[in-house]
Chains A and B, each alone.
Chain A
Amino acid sequence: MRATLFITCLVDQFFPEVGEAMVGVLSRLGVELEFPEEQTCCGQPAFNGGFRREAARVARHFISVFEGKECIVAPSGSCTSMVKHFYPELFRDQPRWRERAEALSSRIHEFSEFLVRVLGVEDVGARYALPGGAAGSTRVAYHDSCHLLRELGISEEPRRLIRSVQGVELVDLSRSPACCGFGGIFSVKYPHISGAILQEKIEAIRESGAEVVVANDMGCLMHIAGGLSRQGIPLKAMHLAELLNGA
């Protein structure tokens, strides 16, 4: 099995360790990976801001980089849905580009979707223990990222993957499908609302008794971790790939 990494700009620039973890997990499963170095961003920030022209410019670059790749894997539900669902929409009036975009639609997969639906793997053989944590199981809560859940319809796959990690207990997060309040530029433009929504998510995570909160999108995680860190709450927020890599 060969796959092409779309690492996303956020992981590349801020969270390279997530990319490393993803490479670790996938190569242990025998997936041969390649990383086209010309890749940058999918264009989602501009698209969600209504700047369609700018988004299209970046999207054209993405398409020319990834065109022809058989199978693309990304550690993000929202970037995946951008390419999968919104590229064809973005190039609605440009038939040639739309065709090229549509050719990519079926070939890009979010990380957990790739593992469970494409590779057919639910247990990657990982074990996890909190650094310095007591022996026994670590309580993990899973947060459903909105685009992963609602645009791609993925909710069971990550949970199955988490449950099969040794040393981990998946705990219920109340109102897990509720948005964390990130919303891209929204989080900067309306910080007071974004922060208030986040507060509710943080309360839910604390109530769940989890020691680690896992999600599949670094946007949400950056937002949640930023809030936890500002409030001095000693909870770990991590990407699924890091948990599966037994970091």
Chain B
Amino acid sequence: MEVRTDQFYRSAGKALQDQRLQRALHNATSRFLGQREAAFAELPNGELLRVKAREIKEETCRRLEEHLDRLERSVSQAGGVVFRARDGEEACRYILELALRHGVKRVVKSKSMTSEEIGLNEALERAGIEPVETDLGEYIVQLAGEKPSHIMVPAIHKSKEEVAELFAERLGAERSTEIARLTRIARATLREKFLTAGMGISGANFAVAETGTVTVLENEGNARLCTTLPPIHVALVGMEKVIPTLEDLPVFLKLLPRSATGQKISSYVSLITGPRREAEADGPGEFHLVLLDNGRSRLLQDPYLREALYCLKCGACLNVCPVYQKVGGHAYGWVYPGPIGSVLTPHFVGLRQARDLPCASTLCGACREVCPVQIDIPGLLLRLRGDLAGGKRQPSPSLPPGRGFRTTFGWPEATDLLAPWGAAPWGERVLMALWAAIMRSPNRYRLTSRWVSWLQRPWVREGKIRRLPSPLSGWTQNRDFPAVARRPFRERWKELSAGEQGGGRAREQRGGGAEGRRSRGVPQSPSPPAFQLPGSENRAEEGMGEGKSSLIQQLERELGRVGGKLHRVRSSEEACLCLRELAQSYQVKRVVRWNEAPPLEAVEIDRAFEGLEIEVIPGSGEAPERLAGAEMGLTGAEYALADTGTLVLVAREGQGRAVSLLPWVHVAWLAADRVLPGLEDLFARVGDARLAAASSCLTFITGPSRTADIELTLTIGVHGPGELHLILIEFGRT
């Protein structure tokens, strides 16, 4: 990706002039902020979770090599291939060679900033391979030949009219400014791409060393499609994404969606461990994990800046940043925008090249306050400003040569291209030196004050200055400046101390009311809130003691909140009846089902549709095109989580991943005793890693597929199902 960080000042100015962009930025950032706040308000131990997440990241980065080695072993054990790429060039080359070896013509991609970082799309295009971005926002941006402007909503800078125009021009679609219609157009176009791609490339939010599990969070279902349909799946993952064990995962699964979009959990969470197992119904036959260094291990050597690597890429710091809210993502000039981008980008493109970024911040600290892993972003920006003004500290001599040194741009040790004296403008240096010389001497300070108050006179009108000379002229572009007081405080002090301090007024008052109101004693600081153990909040809140029925009520409520529907039945017969009614109400012609889906028998399911003109096809062994032709997919589920309204599906023999993904309606069933309170309870069960290791894919489904990528308008069913039903079978309920 082209580096335009040196044009920050001008790009920011352009963004400020763009009224539509200003509105879009305002809407997006305030919406996400509000939702984030509401989500954390519901999470009583949110602060403790942040501390925990931070600890995990710190601990992992401390022994990163160990964890990476373990990850490598686990992935290999699961049948996957791991490639450690020192830089972007190596990563691109590996993926290209893999694609060429398999004769891949088309690659479908789910959102990955890491792939932007290494310029993967450009590399694929040069080799004659078509990379297709499949996240709706990314797709729009790619069609327009632009770059993402926000981590979560890449196309916030585009209006629905622009999208309509784009689709008409590039896809020959009918012109419609109805957002649901535009989403449908993208669904149809991209569905075709998914079915014909030879390779799927995804990023990952986390890679679990213990099990070799790559975790992907998303809302649209495009990442599920990318990692399920094509015969090869490549996960391109920055090496800092490793976490030690599956048990560490719930902490992040709770924090990341809440910080990013204010969701309790993303619509889809995929836990992918290796390629499809032999007996499994579907999934890619090859799995490659490309672990990218590209300067990360060098960043890790920096005792201060290393914490920038803890970043989860949630985007919360963008939304809350007063500067980002005004200038948007493009102004930052490279892949990573916003406050965290201002820390990361200089490392990748060189501090001299990106010297505006650390300076373009008010250091207000709002970013640190919302960061799910408590990165001290203002502190890091101050560090970088220090490097700019005072020259870069020496790189650690303990660094093995050649490891992670080169950047995408082939500049060795990019940040250290700085001269020993730094890169701050000379004018600024001289002024600062002068200022320090004045401020450290009370005499010079007094003298300067007197001079300035005399020199300013011609410009002062009613105590204000409307135009300041350079280098302060920026201030008076849009603000008046106060004049230096004729008599500074220090001169007034003498009279004050003679008058008020010792004299009548102060003494008179002293014995009076004010004294009486004063309560002596130790300053009262607010006592810290009573924290609970992580994960205990749901149980405490919802009252486990009230038993199963309250759990089911909670499941029903949460499922409803995310747009799903719960049907409570008492027997297999009732479940089948419910299935039949649902199929009739959607007027489906073809349904696809899992071969095995306890507690229902396959024959029972088939019988449910007897007498209706509905074709029932078993999901295993069918070509995806045929599955895609079905309007309804029927699956069982492993568990449901009451706290979030989540279904947990495990890929197995006869239980394909695509059945719950391709059709418009997804209907699942589950015995009521499989409802668990929340994520921790689930991970307590799969925490021994057996479940994760036994299957290539665990999928958490929370509501139908959704997007808000066009003008932040929530639209259902962009890639995955638009309807979700859960039939809960409460055997023996009276």
Contact = CB atoms under 8 A, between A and B. Distances in A.
A58 interface: yes
A137 interface: no
B114 to A, nearest CB: 29
A247 interface: no
A32 to B, nearest CB: 7
Contact of A193 (B326, B387, B490): B326
Interface stretch (A96-104, A117-125, A165-173, A206-214): A117-125
Given A13-B449, A20-B489, A197 B501 contact: no
Contact of A192 (B325, B477, B488): B477
B474 interface: yes
B492 interface: yes
Nearest to A32: B501
Given A117-B523, A191-B477, A46 B366 contact: no
Contacts of B382: 47-48, 50
Nearest to B385: A50
Contacts of B369: 150
B604 interface: no
Contacts of B387: 50
B513 A50 contact: no
Interface string B309-339: 0000000000000110111000000000000
Interface of A: 7, 9, 11-16, 19-20, 23-24, 27-30, 32-33, 35, 37-41, 43, 45-55, 57-58, 60-61, 117-125, 146-147, 150-151, 177-179, 181-198, 222-223, 225-227, 229-230
**6 closest A-B pairs (Cβ-Cβ)?**
A50-B385, A183-B362, A226-B479, A179-B364, A117-B523, A54-B436
Given A40-B438, A61-B440, A186-B363, 17 more contacts: A30-B509, A32-B501, A39-B442, A49-B428, A51-B436, A52-B386, A146-B363, A178-B366, A179-B322, A179-B364, A186-B359, A191-B479, A193-B327, A225-B480, A225-B482, A230-B466, A230-B479
7 contacts: A24-B500, A33-B497, A47-B382, A51-B424, A125-B514, A146-B364, A229-B480
Contacts, number: 241
Nearest to B449: A13
Nearest to A39: B442
Interface string B421-450: 000100011001101101111100100010
Contacts of A41: 439
Contact of B436 (A57, A185, A194): A57
Interface of B: 9, 12-13, 16, 322-323, 325-327, 358-366, 368-369, 382, 384-390, 424, 428-429, 432-433, 435-436, 438-442, 445, 449, 464, 466, 471-472, 474-475, 477-485, 487-490, 492-493, 496-497, 500-501, 505-506, 509-510, 513-515, 517-521, 523-525
Of A41, A61, A193, most B-chain CB atoms within 10 Å: A193
A37 B441 CA distance: 11
Given A40-B445, A192-B12, A20 B479 contact: no
A50 B442 contact: no
B70 to A, nearest CB: 35
A121 B517 contact: yes
B389 A120 contact: no
